[in-house]
Structure 1
Amino acid sequence: MKNVAIAVFVALAMVAFMVEPGQAIPCPQVESYLSPCVPYLTNGGTPTQACCTGVSNIQKNTPTVADRQGACQCIKDAASRLPKIDEAAATNLPTACNVKIGVPISKSINCKDVK
């Protein structure tokens, strides 16, 4: 099971390098950035450096409102697939990483409200 998770993570990370400048950030890239955060999002505690680097990468790759709204929807969709996500941990993730991401991490956000 661990090998499968690693293979999926590597595949998602490879997709991250296929994005052209000026393009909206694709969902597989958003998910690969946040995949190191899954333990924090489901168990709480302290996010890892890899998790916080992923959060920072989302911030860097979402300069426009449209980018942030798209990333928000990707995050919302991914979060809905994690039934044991801790909403408080998800909401607090950017603060815990000391990153002003501009994209809420939540299952229940209306992404059209993201500015």
Structure 2
Amino acid sequence: MKSVFVPFLCLVAVLFVTVSAIGPPKPLTCEQTQFLVKACLDFVTDKTTAPSISCCQGLNEVIVLSPTKEERLFVCKCLKEEGSQIPNLDQPKTLDCDR
């Protein structure tokens, strides 16, 4: 029993140190956000009628990496600023940061 307990305890200690060293993820930058949603451009400019799989995957990643309300507002405003520079943008398909 003792021969199993010591390696198990060492494994738990290593996992604890690894997890605590990683820490919480850093908030997304505007550039990272824009890169993740770049696949959505065809959809928001009416070139396609439905978002692509890569668009949805990028948006899901943005959602996961922006868990707090402040982070989501930052992402929304960043995308809204970028959207103002996109010709033929379909406004109803874009973000409303005030919701």
TM-score tier by shorter-chain length is 0.5 to 0.7
Cα deviation digits, residues 24-75 of structure 1 (max 9, x gap): 2100111011100001110140111000101101110110011011101111
Number of corresponding residues: 76
Where 1:29 maps in the other structure, the secondary structure is helix
- Residue of structure 2 equivalent to 1:59: 63
- 2:50 and 2:82 map into 1 onto residues whose CA distance is 20
How many percent of aligned residue pairs carry the same amino acid? 26
Indicate whether 1:31 and 2:40 are aligned. no
For 2:86 and 2:42, the matched residues in 1 are separated by 11
**Structure 2 spans left out of the alignment, 5+ residues:** 1-22
One-letter identity of the residue aligned with 2:78 = C
What is the alpha-carbon distance in structure 1 between the residues aligned to residue 24 and residue 34 of structure 2?
18
Among candidates 47, 55, 65, match of residue 51 of structure 2 = 47
- Contact 2:25–2:65, Cα closer than 8 Å, also in 1: no
Q: What amino acid sits opposite 2:31 in the alignment?
A: P
TM norm structure 2:
0.68
- Which residue number in structure 1 is paired with residue 73 of structure 2? 69
SS of the residue corresponding to residue 27 of structure 2 reads coil
Aligned to 1:88: 92
Give the CA RMSD over aligned residues: 1.8
What is the TM-score when the length of structure 1 is the normalising length?
A: 0.59
Larger Rg: 1 or 2?
Answer: 2
In structure 1, list runs of 5 or more residues that go unmatched. 1-19, 91-104
CA contact 1:24–1:70 (8 Å) conserved in 2:
no
